[in-house]
Every structure is written in C-alpha cells, then in structure tokens.
Amino acid sequence: MRLTALDELAVEMGLRQGQGLAEARAIHPAIDVAEEDPAADGALLEAIADWCDRYTPLVALDGSDGLFLDITGCAHLFGGEQVLLDDILLRLFQMGFKVQGAISGSPGLSWAASRFGAGGVIADSAAQEVLEALSVACLRIEADTIAALNKLGLKRVGDLISMPRAPLARRFGSQVLLGLDQALGHEEEPISPRRPVAFLSVERKLAEAIQAEEDILELASRIAQSLCSSLEARGAGGRVFELVLFRVDGRVFRIVAGASRPLRNPQRIAGLFAERLKSVHDELDAGFGFELLRLNVLQHDPYEASQDNLLGKVSGEAPLADLIDRVSARLGDNVLQAFQFRESHIPERAVFAHPALGHDIGNEGKQSPAVTTGRERPLRLLSRPEPVEAFAAIVPDGPPSRFRWRRVLHDVARAEGPERISPEWWLDQEAGQERDYFKLEVASGHRFWVYRQGHYSSDYRPTWHMHGIFA
C-alpha cells in the first residue's frame, strides 16, 4: 500500500506521494491514514462543480482534483475578476476546503499558476513573466519528458522559451511546444462543460434564505415572468425547464419538469414545478434554506400563439396538454404513453409507444403515408401474435370455420379477407413469410383479427395466429 495524497502537515514531516505505507509508519508511527475512495472523491468533486454553477454555467472537470470555470462575460456580475476569485476561495474555505485558483486569458496558464504558482488574477501583459518562473511540469507533459528536460538543466519554463523550437520538437516531441503555446494563449484550448448550456436562464439571489415549498413556488413564478418575456422576444416556448436550488451550505438540487407543448405562461411553468415538488418532497431537504434560485430553459420549440374563442374557452388541446403535464410531473414521464407511426406495413412495427410528454398533440390525427391503408384495424393489437389452432380452413386462401384460442373454441359466423401483407425482406431476410389477414366474427359476436403465415403446399402446413381484437 502506498500514499496517494498528503495534507500540508504530512508534507512538512517529509512524507511524499507514492511512498510505501510501511516506510511512512516507520518514520512517523502516529500518522493517521484513510483508505482512498475514488468514487466518493469523484462525487465530492461533482458536488463542488454543481455549487460553482452559481458563477458560470460553463464548469468542466479537470482530472480528479480540479475544475475549469469559463467566466467570460460573468465577472462583472460579481464586481470583477479579483472579487469573483476571492469569493470562490473564501466560500470554499468556509466549507472546509483549502483551494487555490487563478484567472488568466488561457486555461493552460490558469492551470499552471494555480498548481505550481501563487495563483491570483494574471493580466495578459504579465502572462509570460509569470509563466517563465514556473517549473516545466506546469506544461502538462509526461513525467519522462520532465525528467529528460531536468537532466539537461531545463527546469523552468523560461529556459524553454528562449530556445529554438525545432530542436525541442525533434528531441522531446510536440507535446512540449503544445503545452507552451496553450499556456501562452497562442493555441486555443476549448473547455467542455459537464452540463449542457441552457437556452435561457434567470436567477434570483435572496437576502434571506427560504425553506417552505410555497415560498419556492411563488419565487419561481416571479422569475418565470422575466423568463417568459425573453421567450416571447425570441418567438419560442419552453418544453423542458430546470429549477436549480442552491442551499446555503453548498448543496445543489436540480428539479426538471417537461411540458407537452411550448409554454410561456408563468403560472403554468410554476404549476409544473408544483407537481414535481409533490413527487420529490421527501428527497428535497431544505436544511437551513435556499439562498439562490435559478430557472433554466433546457429545451425550446417555436411558439404558435393561440386565441380563446368568443366564450373565453381554450381549444380542446389545452386541457389535454395540462393533464399530460400534471400527471407526468407527478408520476414520471413514462406513465402516460402516446403512439407514433413508423414507415412500415407490418402491424406490430407500424406504431410504437413513447412518453406522451414529448408527443405533438396538434398532429395526433396525421398518419404516415406508409401506414395509411384505408382498411379497418383492431382496437386492441396484441404486442406479440399468439398461436391459434384452426379447423376446416378452405384451401388455399380461405378462412377457417372454427378455431381454438386460449383454450376456447369459437365457431366462425362471418369472415372477411384475406388481406395479404408481404414481409420486409430488408429486415426479416429469408425468415419472413407472407401473411394473409382475416376478420372473423364468431357466434358470440366478438370480432377477431387472425392471420395465416405462409401458404399451403405438399410439404408445408401454414400456421395461424391471433393478432388483434375488434370488439
């Protein structure tokens, strides 16, 4: 077992990372050792990254112990870069973390200054001067390359800057020059945020923390008003909303609610979260209260304005949309299912179910050209056709006079068919066979949809299957 991380006191005692545990205890028998837990460390870093969303939505993970924050266009909201950096470091220190950070014009220089330098805000004019005093390890190059550079006496970045670039690339590879150019800002280095950036975002900082759900919903309705004005200016409506609650102790809660059609109404948006809060009531621990609320639009669609009729009533689609929104917000997206057509003539493939929350209510009556056959289809279609034992079927293309399904024998009173449906050879290949569908009405009045798979021949007897029920 070896030491993987050390605190300041352990470093002052002369311990080093990678040292064997037995050797460390032989030097200092009283040292306190905790077993490494990478999963817990990762969860903690994710939680800190969530907390950093209060400063910028562009937060990326940097290894197992660092974060990148792209604060372009955000610093002035906090009084400047120095004030923002001081606020981050002070708040994290009060939470029990000792951190170091740097702000500069390039991610590479910020990484180098925060890990190998004194950190702070670095002006563009002082970037090269600060970088020259740092170790070559700050260029994010491999350990073997660092050791090779140190053997030649190249220990500081300043020793590399003054050297010709071509010999450096031939001897040590292109990574040294790439790290140098990224630190100096000559080479672009994109930051990939861990969460998608919201289409629109509105937040409210509170002088006094709130705890009650009623206060949360009232504040969400207020900030939704300014959000809706921004949506109206863009001719859009929100389909997926996210309410982010920042607790005073640093924990962050995210509540996502979707709508079946684009929304702009603040009351309806707040109503979505009213239902969601009822479903996550036990999981939402307000603690000492929430100090910051943010409302994001994660997904949007073009908004088509509608007008009430002369009686002041909305169209029939609106109550259905409200019902879908409320049920999905309370019980989950998969509770209500809607059906959508596919480009297929095979009955079990022609339609598929998906959450009703993402269904376009205004187009539920429109059919795909591939499935518009003009023929009657059963009200209930079995998910998997079930075998049927048919008797006295007229050869070659006639219906049976009797059949047994689920241990019940039925006498056929009337029959209509066949309707032949060919297999999709590009999916079924040679395994697919033609189906001849019949509508069979039995003596009890029930109507079934039965098909024969295959054709009669001297060496083959086709099989019969039940696929649907009309009434």
| Each residue's pLDDT tens digit, 113-168 | 999 999 999 999 999 999 999 999 999 999 999 999 999 899 999 999 888 989 88
pLDDT band at 311 (very low <50, low <70, confident <90, very high): low
Host H or E run for residue 237: strand 236-247
Over residues 410-466, the pLDDT tens digits come to 999 999 989 999 888 888 776 778 899 999 999 999 999 999 998 888 778 899 999
Among left, alpha and beta (phi > 0; psi -120 to 50; other), residue 392 is: left
CA–CA separation, 110 and 105 (whole Å): 8
Angle between helices 213-234 and 266-279 (to 10 degrees): 140
Q: What angle do CA 196, 201, 203 make, to 5 degrees?
A: 125
pLDDT in the model for residue 308: 57
Written as six digits, the tokens of 57 are 């939505």
Of 216, 196, 200, whose CA–CA distance to 303 is shortest? Answer: 200
Over residues 361-403, the pLDDT tens digits come to 555 444 444 445 567 888 888 988 999 999 988 888 899 999 9
pLDDT in the model for residue 456: 84
CA–CA separation, 186 and 75 (whole Å): 23
Of 418, 4, 50, whose CA–CA distance to 252 is shortest? Answer: 50
Q: Which residue has the tokens 């690339």?
A: 169
Query: Is the link from the previous residue into 396 a cis peptide, with omega within 30 of 0?
Result: yes
450 within 8 A of 388, measured Cβ to Cβ: yes
pLDDT in the model for residue 157: 93
Cβ burial 131-168 (10 Å sphere, 16+ → b, else e): beebbbbbbebeeebbeebeeeebebbeebeeeeeeeb
Mean pLDDT in residue range 203-218: 91
pLDDT in the model for residue 371: 47
CA–CA separation, 165 and 182 (whole Å): 15
The CA distances from residue 291 to 54, 77, 370, in Å, are 11, 17, 55
For the ranges 100-109, 227-236, 269-278, 350-359, the lowest mean pLDDT is seen at 350-359
pLDDT in the model for residue 360: 63
Does residue 313 have a pLDDT over 60? no
Handedness of CA 10, 15, 17, 22 (dihedral sign): negative
